[in-house]
Structure 1
């Protein structure tokens, strides 16, 4: 899931994409893009200044669309590559050696642009310092990492979701030293069936203010956690209410 420019977008396991306007719920697009899992979405402006929807699919492609019409702007075939965005297109810069043993699932930039987090199916979340393109920290989970998201300023958190049941919060102010983290166990919801032993996690995003963390579940439910922003800023804690 991703929210931005007055829109919300969600992806599915068979290429599904659903984009709606937040103010009136009007649908911009509902259909399929590709035929594989849409692992990560991002709404942001590119070098043209226009809002775009970036879609990372399990077929090793990143597709860029005009947000208001979902017309195709560009398509990049890549794995863990870094591109420079220019007014005329996308130029390859460098391949990042993430040093993992399974497929990459998503990535997220910090609000300052100084850090890049990548998630892998082998349970490795790597945090890169982008000035020198080096890994400064890694966080390992018990199952596959599905999503990584940096919070917007000034909260300074990194959220990681596993395939099932658990999300992790990492203090982004301590990435280059010992990791300070908190594990969140996603609760059963009213739409969970009695025989379910695990809660599949389908997506995750911070609110634009950073005051909430929304976690999407395979049961079509969304669990929202409140971030204690004032306590975090004044006391330096990373806990959630």
Structure 2
């Protein structure tokens, strides 16, 4: 898996292997984050400092400073962490766990991580997490096919379910909010389907199927473009671009979404 931000690309794989590469200079550094498989790697900014955060199956979250690659913190967790997400304002971090919990950390002035709250997303593994652009709302996907959305005050705003009926295919996986001022939430199911939610009410949804009805296409990931004009979805053998109709999005009636 990988992440690109702030002029760097971070990559992580099996057996703790990881690398950070600076796109403008060609500089790169390889490092090992632990004995287990890496589940996630994310670049973030704390004040004027770039950090890379790695979740390893040894039940740790490790944080390094870029480009010195000095290890700043090791967070020892009760179970493996599948994904982390730093809030856009740089003050909070989410950690989605194999135990179905999501941990919310306050990133304090010195850059230390203090646990603020723990929420139960599922009795099955929590797989991914994301913040909205204002750092006030976050979403967590889980293996059981549900996505739960909370605000920063701990109020659950909604729970949404997968459209897939087969247990082995119903996991809700990648999740991302659109960038401001657009107010959308997209999440992928294990195969073939992407859901787009209106976050003004959480009551309107568009379901986009990317495979024929008699076939399954596994979804590797997705992201909104920086200008919100497109949603890119990575399949096993192709990259699909879904165009966002921004004008129609601002005007669609409450009973139906017209996004693409």
Looking at structure 2, the residues matched to 110 and 76 of structure 1 have their Cα atoms a distance apart, in angstroms, of 24
Looking at structure 2, the residues matched to 225 and 106 of structure 1 have their Cα atoms a distance apart, in angstroms, of 21
Q: Deviations over 1:54-112 (max 9, x none)?
A: 344555543333344555332324432111001331111111122x1210111101111
Looking at structure 1, the residues matched to 31 and 191 of structure 2 have their Cα atoms a distance apart, in angstroms, of 26
Q: Which runs of 5+ in 1 are unaligned?
A: 189-195
Query: In structure 2, do the counterparts of structure 1 residues 67 and 101 end up closer, same or farther at CA, with 3 Å as the change threshold?
Result: same
- Contact 1:2 1:205 (C-alpha < 8 Å) held by counterparts: no
TM-score of the two chains, using structure 1 as the length reference: 0.77
Q: Map of 1:218-237 to 2, 5 A cutoff?
A: 218-219=236-237, 221-235=238-252
Give the alignment's Cα RMSD to 1 decimal.
3.0
Looking at structure 1, the residues matched to 119 and 177 of structure 2 have their Cα atoms a distance apart, in angstroms, of 19
Looking at structure 2, the residues matched to 3 and 69 of structure 1 have their Cα atoms a distance apart, in angstroms, of 18
1:107 aligned onto 2:129: yes
TM-score of the two chains, using structure 2 as the length reference: 0.72
Q: Deviations over 1:165-212 (max 9, x none)?
A: 11111111113xx3x111122248xxxxxxx94211122222222222
Equivalent pairs counted in the alignment come to 225
Higher relative contact order (CA 8 A, sep 6+): 1
Instruction: Measure how far apart 1:134 and its partner are.
Output: 2.0
Match of 2:158 in 1: 137
Instruction: Find the partner of 1:93 among 77, 95, 116.
Output: 116
Looking at structure 1, the residues matched to 195 and 14 of structure 2 have their Cα atoms a distance apart, in angstroms, of 22
Q: Which runs of 5+ in 2 are unaligned?
A: 78-96, 165-169
Query: In structure 2, do the counterparts of structure 1 residues 21 and 185 end up closer, same or farther at CA, with 3 Å as the change threshold?
Result: farther
